[in-house]
Amino acid sequence: MRQKKYILPESEIPTHYFNIQAVMPNKPLPFLNPATREPLKPEDLYPVFVEECARQELNQTDEWIPIPEPVREQYAAYRCTPLVRAYELEEALGTPAHIYFKNESVSPAGSHKLNSALAQAYYAKKEGITNITTETGAGQWGGALSYAAKKFGLDCAVYMVKVSYNQKPYRRSIMQTFGAAITPSPSMSTRAGKDILTKNPNDQGSLGCAISEAMELALTTPNCKYTLGSVLNHVCMHQTVIGLEAEKQMALAGEYPDIVIGCFGGGSNFSGIAFPFLRHNIQDGKKTRFIAAEPASCPKLTRGKFEYDFADEAGMTPLLPMFTLGHTFKPATIHAGGLRYHGAGVILSQLMKDGYMEAIDLQQTETFKAGILFAQTEGIIPAPESCHAIAATIREAQRCKETGEQKTILFNLSGHGFVDMSAYDQYISGELQDYKLTDAELAKFMESADKLNA
């Protein structure tokens, strides 16, 4: 019988995170204080962030960071995750390519986000923090953080954009099931929320406002810190457990990937699958291609600019050097909620600029078509975000069919789509649309970042 899955025992859960910053030929540019334009030090981030996370964020020297034993113990609930050969997808496509995927949908939260949530919750607990807070739009990060907080005995407060709170009741109940307190944002519990509600009591909220509320809570509550589920360097680093396991599993399969693919929101799951292999391009002359799959309605890597910009819509964060569409960018309401972010992580932006990775943008109908083929062949209904990685994989596999090349393709299945079935419903009933984003629209949003670089 042909081998379908490559499984590693719990003892093979990685012992260290891989910090790609230490081996990058060109280091990322510094974060800047928006008022003084001075480069930030880790201490500048301490008031809002967990201190260990702040240190990891700016660590450009240590290639390997030990994973605390209590975090590895929590990883054991779902790690090592399986590496799977997608034989039936290959057959359906008639491609000579070998397609593998790393299945991160098996985590209790249903996505890769738990890899960082558990680390962040642990570091917070160790520093005597009692409460953590965050914002959530689509609800995936909120779900992962709620679970991680429960595991390490922290209280978790999630500000959820009001319109999502009402439209995505199951994501809200997942967070509540794991014991978190969910506040629809804007709320009366913060200055930022009150200001908005006194002007417009029916305001339906925005991610920018939810971030402002969560950061305000962290700044004004003793022993409370703010956490983020993507974009930042430490989050991307925590995700490298994905690729470190995949590297060993590919070796068990007797293969090494020619192409590595991940969907791209802020860049954390892409980093996770890519960086451990990318280090061999940097250090050992390997020639693997790394492809980020982003939505055509939020194309920061393919159509954005490399500039300093705020990481949040409200302009409360430091300035980050990144590929951005402008921090006021308002993407169309596509279903891959996790990919609707205006910028790319700082490390990823530098790697993109230096030609270590490539990006493609995809329309959502192509991605759902790919997701449905994947569900019918491989038996897993993918998250709408993950459908982008699958669509990009199918494009590469079809190219192999045309040229007759037998390439090895590895993609990350970042999550399952069980809480996104309304999106599949819309696709199946033919209601789902593609969006064209004009250059004029893009230029308008870019002004918000251009101003900061003048």
Ligand X SMILES: *Cc1c(COP(=O)(O)O)cnc(C)c1O
Q: How far apart are CA 188 and CA 335, in angstroms?
A: 29
Q: Which is nearer to ligand X, 258 or 385 (CB)?
A: 385
Choose which of 124, 263, 352, 446 interacts with ligand X (CB under 6 A). Answer: 263
Side-by-side strand order, sheet with 131-136: 181-185, 155-161, 131-136, 224-226
| Interface with ligand X, residue 164, by CB under 6 A | no
78 to 117: interface string for ligand X, x by CB under 6 A: ---------------------------------x-x----
Which parts of 206-235 interact with ligand X (CB under 6 A)?
Answer: 230
Choose which of 135, 142, 415, 448 interacts with ligand X (CB under 6 A). Answer: 415
Residue type, position 138, single letter = A
Token pair for 236 = 């991307």
Q: How far is CA 327 from the centre of its chain?
A: 17
* Smallest separation, CB 406 to ligand X (Å): 29
Q: How far apart are CA 296 and CA 437, in angstroms?
A: 8
| Per-residue CA distances from 319 to 44, 377, 401, 447, 449 (Å) | 13, 44, 44, 15, 10
Choose which of 115, 133, 414, 448 interacts with ligand X (CB under 6 A). Answer: 414
| Interface with ligand X, residue 348, by CB under 6 A | no
DSSP state of 294: E
* Smallest separation, CB 143 to ligand X (Å): 9
Strands (E), 275-326: 289-295, 305-310, 319-324
Q: Which is nearer to ligand X, 87 or 170 (CB)?
A: 170
| Interface with ligand X, residue 140, by CB under 6 A | yes
- Contact window for ligand X (CB under 6 A) among 85-93, 298-306, 381-389, 399-407: 381-389
Q: Which is nearer to ligand X, 193 or 299 (CB)?
A: 299
Task: Name residues whose C-beta falls within 8 Å of residue 257's C-beta, 6 or more positions apart in sequence.
Answer: 100, 250, 277, 288, 408, 409, 410
* Smallest separation, CB 19 to ligand X (Å): 17
Choose which of 48, 83, 129, 383 interacts with ligand X (CB under 6 A). Answer: 383
Q: Which residue bears the tokens 């593609």?
A: 434
Choose which of 95, 350, 386, 448 interacts with ligand X (CB under 6 A). Answer: 386
DSSP string, 193-247: HHHHHHH-TT----HHHHHHHHHHHHHHSTTEEE--SSSSHHHHHHTHHHHHHHH
- Residues that bind ligand X in the complex, under the rule CB under 6 A: 111, 113, 140, 230, 263-270, 338-339, 383, 385-386, 414-415
